[in-house]
Structure 1
Amino acid sequence: MRRSRLRDAEALSPFMIGMLALSLAILFVPLGIIILLSFNTSPYGTFPFQGTLKWYGALFTDSGLLGPTWLSVELSFLVAVSAAVFGTMAAVWLDRRASKIAGTLFRAALLSAITVPWLILGLAMLLVMNAIGIGRSLFAIYLGLLATVLPYVVFIVAARLNALDRDLDFAARSLGASPIISFLRVSAPLILPSIISGTLIAFMVSFNNFLIQYFLAPFGVQTLPLKIYTLIRVGYLPDLNALATLIVGITCLFIAILHRLGLRNAGLPGGAAL
């Protein structure tokens, strides 16, 4: 029986390797083409290839992409910081104060925000914003994105809190520290890598979330996803390749930071990797 299973595993291994290679190709080949074309002289993405940096220069001079890009960065930064603050508070309540029923209901609500398609969430948020008088505005985008990314921060920080050694907190309390001081001096430094990781994930999700921004953006206001959507409906622009290459590079930097924080978090007392 055991030998039969080993033979089956060996027979499947080439198929699995092929599927993995195909998946990686589908994921990374388009990115590689975009990066390659961002250095191509031709404005239409045609060959033969001739190297140039003029599209990067055009991106920072006469391109209309910088305004929407900075708006998206500022909005995503505000959403990420807010998610870090409120998400950490919610995680602490969920881990240490919530009753079993309240915790279960709260987790279910957070999971629904993650599992429900953004198309449905965006439409529902638009109806809610109109009903409460906010309408389509930058504040509506802020609230919609915050509701979308908050569960990520809560679950990441709550998982880290659950892995902490409670005796550390009890020891601080027994030495006369108040609950707030005990949290700030004992728990907060230990969960800081998770807070930073959740904040970075919240920023990336907010920055790239087209559907929520599409439903809630007011007329005349364009974030970067909305601007790109408008441009690709008109025609091909080589500036987009340069911008996409920069975004891919920044995303890789974020991933490296998250990986580094995960390794550091794995070495903390009572902790597990993110």
Structure 2
Amino acid sequence: MAGESSKRLSGFNVASVALGMTFLYLPIVILVIYSFNASRLVTVWGGWSLKWYRELFNDQAMLSATWMSLRVGVVAATLATVLGTLAAIALSRGESFRGRTLFSGMLYAPLVMPEVMTGLSLLLLFVATNAERGFWTVTIAHTTLTMCFVAVVVQSRLNGLDRSLEEAAMDLGCTPVRAFIAVTLPLILPSIIAGWLLAFTLSLDDLVIASFTTGPGSATLPIRIYSEVRLGVKPEINAICTLVVGAVALVIIAASLASKLSSKQGESAAPL
């Protein structure tokens, strides 16, 4: 009886969950609804319309910023996935190499460092090296920011694998590199994909670091939205934000599915 009662949701728990979900998602729901508002005034409902989505696709500045964010996100997420995976392998497989503590501390520093400090330090670096700020400076900055997140995801997956599988492959004649590619890489591939999706989402969402490292003609979508919101919310902004929310939701669903697949493979590969 005690077990059955503990599984039941009390009224307080239901109310707490409802209030929490409302606090988190009600503003997003309102934004999505008002993106279909026919009125130019964002606070006055004028009926359902796709007018502002058509206006959005005629806004070349907004479309250019969106394309910039997508390009930066794809390149930065790819670089961060490669570097983060290599770092995770070094931390997981090299338990006793000299400087491991320093390396892990430097790798995970962006996780706890304020983004303002990260952006300012990267800006000073680019100024000192006379680097022209634009696509590549923003990409490097986002790679620096997201690489540590990929390393955390992949390292946690590596730590849960049974290393005897690689040892068995090497006993059968595989070199360490071939054993890793043939045995370990397929098992950690879902976590690598999840890390890439996480890095892409963080890059797409970043405003602070991009504002320090961007240059003329290379504004990302968050910077463009922020600059226009300061002058007043336009209905087109509701439309582009709705599209971004939908895209991020798809990315999160894909990452969740990849994570579940990784967990199932880890359970099947775990020693009995």
Give the TM-score taking structure 1 as reference length. 0.89
The counterpart of 2:61, out of the listed 18, 40, 64, is 64
> Quick one: distance in 2 between partners of 1:253 and 1:74?
18
| 1:24-61: CA deviation from partner (whole Å, max 9, x where unpaired) | 22211110110000111011123344111111122122
Question: Which runs of structure 2 are paired with 1:71-86 in the superposition (5 Å)?
Answer: 71-86=68-83
The within-5 A match list for 1:174-253 is 174-253=171-250
Secondary structure, counterpart of 1:45 in structure 2: coil
Alpha-carbon distance, 1:258 to partner: 1.4
Report what 2:18 is aligned to: 21
Spell out the pairing of 1:1-274 with structure 2 (5 A cutoff).
18-99=15-96, 102-134=99-131, 136-270=133-267
Measured on the aligned residues, the alpha-carbon RMSD in Å equals 2.4
Q: Tell me, what secondary structure is at the counterpart of 2:174?
A: coil
Question: Residue 165 and residue 230 in structure 1: after superposition, are their counterparts in 2 closer, same or farther (change >3 A)?
Answer: same
**C-alpha displacement at 1:101, in angstroms?**
5.3
CA distance in 2, matches of 1:113, 1:62: 35
Instruction: Give the letter aligned to residue 83 of structure 1.
Output: A
In 1, Cα distance between the equivalents of 2:214 and 2:266?
45
Q: Is the 8 A contact 2:107 2:148 kept in 1?
A: yes
Alignment gaps of 5+ in structure 1: 4-8
SS at match of 1:268: helix
68-77 vs 106-115, greater mean Cα deviation:
106-115
Aligned residues: 265
Are the aligned partners of 2:34 and 2:45 in contact in 1 as well (CA < 8 Å)?
Answer: no
Contact 1:140 1:217 in 2 (8 A): yes
TM-score between the two structures when normalised by the length of structure 2? 0.89
Look up the equivalent residue of 2:44 and give its one-letter code: F
In the aligned structure 1, how far is the partner of 2:73 from the partner of 2:91? Answer: 25
The CA distance in 1 between the partners of 2:243 and 2:113, in whole Å, is 30
Q: CA separation in 2, counterparts of 1:104 and 1:23? A: 39
Structure 1, 25-34 or 65-74: larger mean CA deviation: 25-34
**Amino acid corresponding to residue 200 of structure 1 in structure 2:** L
Aligned residues: percent identity? 35
Name which of structure 1's ranges 182-191 and 227-236 shifts more when overlaid on structure 2: 227-236
1:111, 1:15 → 2: CA distance?
38
